[in-house]
A and B are shown apart, each in its own frame.
Chain A
Amino acid sequence: MKSKKRGSGWRTLWHPNFGAPAALLILYIANAVFTPRFATVSNTLNMLLQVSTTMLIAVGMTFVIASRGIDLTVGSTMALVSIIVALLINHGMVIAIWAALSAALLIGLINGFLISRLKLDPLITTLAALIMWRGVAQVVGDGRIVPFAHPTLEALGKGYVGLIPIQVVIAAVVVASAFFCVRSTLFGRYLVAVGGNEAAARLTGIRTERVKYSVYLISALLAGLAGLVETARLAIGDPSKIGVNAEFEAIAAVVVGGTPFSGGRANVLGTVVGALIMQVISTSFNMLLIPFTWSLVLKSLIILFAVFVQRPQEV
């Protein structure tokens, strides 16, 4: 690369391929030094476990943001999936999962229709849908928490493969396939083309509408998967608690990881790093006995800072 990016020092510091990983490394090392029992295998695995559902959603969000959209419905999708699984688990796991993921896909389909066909603003659309689907989830479960016992399903959230929690394995598989998808598949290439220059993409024969549909479907499906994992881990269907603030966590991971809101770039690995940064901060605050609420404040400020240093340059 012979071209030099102009801009302030901060901007170069937060270069997508450099800033976020460096920040993660510094944070981890600093914590290893200052926080007792931080740099242990069990704590690291624990952090990975806690971040895995966020990771799933954040990967979907990366796709959506790369297409110049936003999807705030992910948390509600998790809730709906959760209650459907819990209610239907007695009819068999396959049916329950099938029904739950179908519901998730339905949400994605409706989002896609409203945004790509009716050309509604993605923010307002998914904001309204966020509330609506949370309501639907509670209506379906009548507002109750539905506990269940189903060892096979619960293994999805609690089981281990060797040392590694199944959740983490799932997240890793999803991340790897998303990375591969962006890099090597037709869809991935179309995605960045549509996000990068929609008019040019259309003139190259890409059916941009379909790409946008797919993006919201993928996001909904991954949110559904995250809901499934979360439900399995807790062994309850909880339409009011599960997935609350999930959209916030996911957007944070994507932004901190360096996928710009201006679209055209899907930095899946960056999102992973972003999610890890946010998790390291939460964990270290937790271990240093700083209340969760202060960590929320600090995390918000960090994200705003990340957005600020990556802001579009005036042309």
Chain B
Amino acid sequence: MAATRFLGLAGTRLLRLLTSQGALLLLLSLALFGSFRYQTFLTPLNLMNIMRQNSMLAIVALGMTVVILSGGIDLSVGAFVALGGVIAAMLAPAGSLVAIIGGIASTALLGMVNGLLVSRALLQPFVVTLFTASAARGLALSLTEEKSIAVSSAASGLVWLGRGFIGPVPVPVLIVALLYFAAWFMLHRSLLGLHIFAVGDNEEASRLMGVNPDRVKLVAYTISGLLSGLAGVVLAGRLGAGQPVAAFGWETDAIAATVMGGTFLGGGQGSVLPTLIGVLLLGMIYNLLNLEGTITPWWQLVLRGGFLLLVVIFQQRVVKTAG
């Protein structure tokens, strides 16, 4: 009897592990698969490349996670990345500091506009961010006359942000690590974090209990805007140019990474570290597809969309069975 009970316990443990750490397990098994299939896959170089290539998306997904946790959604992140990068590149002649701050501040401001429209004007998040996205994309294209803007050599700091190394570690990867740690601390240790969770969980109850949901949402969208801008700045440094067409469709990847990491789409439940795993998982899938080579790049889109859909369906099922 003790044995069956133990087995039953192990079963529920396994199920819980699968639902909570599904992304991590998937990541590990994919890595295992990749290492058997390609000698080049599990090399430090390739792994570091995957991390570096996906660090911008990781920054964006972090902001998305915060917004989704607060019960919203932000479709404007992709366009903000482009706008942030373009503005940084345009300000580059004035020096790195101006460029970096300008790029981040502009999108942080737009994020704040998102937050105000959602919290004060009571508009639906997806409507607001869908159209601020098109406005931001249009602005990025207009400012650059649809051309890519090379980063001036005056902004060595900007380039360093995208391409530099500290010891063996690429700067973008370092930025990601710092940001994720800071966000984790903010969400799980600070008042603001608790309030973000509370508002995303049950806005009405939070209001009754003395939390100010309007302010929380404003902060969440501003954080997302700010991080998108930062991602754009890093991207511009890495590419050596501000590209107005950059980061197209990143909002879906960011949502996918967030949801894959187990953050509940309805808000209130989840964390940031699993989002990072989600990002790496996406990155590894694309990397393997590239290594595979025989699969046309068009399949990437199918997989991206289909994957997000599957994850969302899976989450719906889990939520439903959990009651």
| Most chain A CB neighbours (cut-off 10 Å) among B122, B255, B301 | B301
Q: Mark B126-144, 1 if CB is under 8 A from A, else 0.
A: 1110111011011101100
Query: Does B308 have its Cβ within 8 Å of any Cβ on chain A?
Result: yes
* Those of B274-311 within 8 Å (CB) of chain A: 296-306, 308-309
Interchain CB contact under 8 A, B313 and A297: no
Question: How near does chain A come to B298, taking the closest CB pair, in angstroms?
Answer: 4
**B121: A residues at CB distance < 8 A:** 308, 311
Asked if B88 CB lies within 8 Å of chain A CBs, one says no
Residues of B within 8 A of A248 (CB): 130, 134
Query: Within residues 123 to 151 of chain A, which ones have a CB less than 8 A from any CB in chain B?
Result: 123-125, 127-136, 138-139, 142-143
Residue of B nearest to A251 (CB): B130
Alpha-carbon distance between A136 and B303 when the two chains are bound, in angstroms: 9
B316 touches A133 (CB 8 A): no
A140 to B137, CA, bound (A): 29
Let me know if B204 is at the binding interface, CB within 8 A. no
Residues of B within 8 A of A307 (CB): 123, 127-128, 131
Quote the shortest CB–CB distance from B151 to chain A (angstroms): 21
- B90 lies within 8 A of chain A by Cβ: no
The answer to whether residues A114 and B122 also contact, given A143-B298, A307-B128 and a CB cut-off of 8 A, is no
User: Is the pair B298, A135 in contact by a Cβ cutoff of 8 Å?
Assistant: yes
Counting chain B CB atoms within 10 Å of each CB, which of A114, A128, A297, A308 scores highest? A128
Closest B residue, CB atoms, query A310? B123
Q: Decide: A136 and B302 in contact? CB cutoff 8 A.
A: yes
Q: Kindly state the separation between the CA atoms of A118 and B298 in the bound complex, as whole angstroms.
A: 28
- The CA-CA distance from A102 to B121 in the complex, in Å, is 41
Report the count of interface residues on A (CB-CB < 8 A).
45
**Across-interface contacts of A136 in B (CB, < 8 A):** 301-302
In-complex Cβ contact of A135 among B127, B137, B265, B302 (8 A): B302
CA–CA, A303 to B89, complex, Å? Answer: 29
Q: Is the CB of B312 within 8 A of A124?
A: yes
Q: Given A114-B313, A125-B312, A130-B305, do A300 and B135 touch, yes or no (CB 8 Å)? A: yes
Residue of A nearest to B144 (CB): A293
Contacts of B141 in A (CB 8 A): 293, 296
Distance of A314 Cα from B122 Cα, bound (Å): 8
Given contacts A251-B130, A296-B137, 9 further A-B contacts (CB under 8 A): A70-B126, A124-B265, A127-B251, A127-B255, A127-B308, A128-B252, A132-B305, A295-B138, A304-B132
A residues adjacent to B (C-beta < 8 A): 70, 114, 118-121, 123-125, 127-136, 138-139, 142-143, 248, 251-252, 255, 261, 291, 293-301, 303-304, 307-308, 311-312, 314
Chain B residues within 8 Å of A, Cβ to Cβ: 73, 75, 117, 121-124, 126-128, 130-132, 134-135, 137-139, 141-142, 145-146, 249, 251-252, 255-256, 265, 296-306, 308-309, 312-313, 316
10 A-B interface contacts by CB (under 8 A) = A120-B316, A124-B255, A127-B75, A128-B312, A131-B252, A131-B301, A132-B304, A139-B298, A299-B134, A307-B127
